[in-house]
Structure 1
């Protein structure tokens, strides 16, 4: 049975080109992960705030290296795309930004991010999310980007707003964290915004 509409993005929209590095224009670079980032990823996940708002723990640099290998390979599969957010001058890790739950045919993906403890409060996540969103809309042609966070995570809610994601609603009891079920805010940006 044929569809009545054409796919927003065709298969290969991402994988046909190498994963890009995206300068934010203000001192950060959103770049593909490298094997040498494993120690910094492991260190980032030793922060208690990461355990509060994320569902995974990282028990060793070897485990972080395995994650990075998966993140690097995920570009070709076009289901998710992960980037390191680094200082433009020093290449020091400041965080991570990603497109997850990519649905090319619908032109939709989810934006996710985290920052290392020493980079919080400096606008790193918002700058990275804005840069990634601009690229996803203007260079690739996504129609809609969504962003979810626990309603109790007020800092993440501020990041979403600063990155241009409008609050659309609350998904009740939507994600199980170590301390129980969390309501989740749904934010979104459209290409036309």
Structure 2
């Protein structure tokens, strides 16, 4: 049975080129992950705040090296696209920003981020989210980006609001964290917002 609409983005919309580095214009750079980033990611995941808001733990640098290889390969499959957020001058790892749950036919993806403990309170997540959103919506042509965070994670809510992701509602008991089920805020931006 044929579809009545055309795909928003054709297969290859991402993978036909190498994953780009995206400058934020204010000192940060979103760049593809490198194997040598594994020790810094491992350290980031030892932070109690990371353990509070993420379902994944990093037990070793080797394990994180496997994650980074997965992140690098996922670009070609157009399932997820992950960037290291680094200081543009020193290349110091400050966080991560990603498009997850990519659905090219619908032109939709979920945006996610985290920052290292030392980078919090400096606008890193908001600046990286704004840059990735501009690229995804304006340059690539995604139609809709969603962003979810635990209702109790007020810092993530501020990032979403600051970067133009409108609060659309609450998904009750939607994500299991180590301390139990969490209600999640659903925010979104659509092309043209």
Q: Same fold (TM over 0.5)?
A: yes
How far does residue 112 in structure 1 lie from its aligned partner after superposition? 0.2
Distance 1:15 1:118 in 2: 33
How far does residue 138 in structure 1 lie from its aligned partner after superposition? 1.4
Secondary structure of the equivalent of 2:145? Answer: strand
Distance 2:18 2:163 in 1: 25
* TM-score, normalised relative to structure 2: 0.99
* Corresponding residue for residue 189 of structure 1: 189
Distance 2:109 2:124 in 1: 21
* Corresponding residue for residue 176 of structure 1: 176
Secondary structure of the equivalent of 2:102? Answer: strand
Distance 1:132 1:59 in 2: 29
* 1:125-157 alpha-carbon deviations (Å, 9 max, x no partner): 010000000000111100000000000000000
Secondary structure of the equivalent of 1:51? Answer: helix
Q: CA RMSD in A?
A: 0.4
How far does residue 164 in structure 1 lie from its aligned partner after superposition? 1.1
Distance 1:46 1:58 in 2: 7
How many residue pairs match? The answer is 193
* Corresponding residue for residue 113 of structure 1: 113
* Corresponding residue for residue 75 of structure 1: 75
Secondary structure of the equivalent of 1:109? Answer: strand
Q: Which runs of 5+ in 1 are unaligned?
A: none
Distance 2:125 2:180 in 1: 25
How far does residue 87 in structure 1 lie from its aligned partner after superposition? 0.2
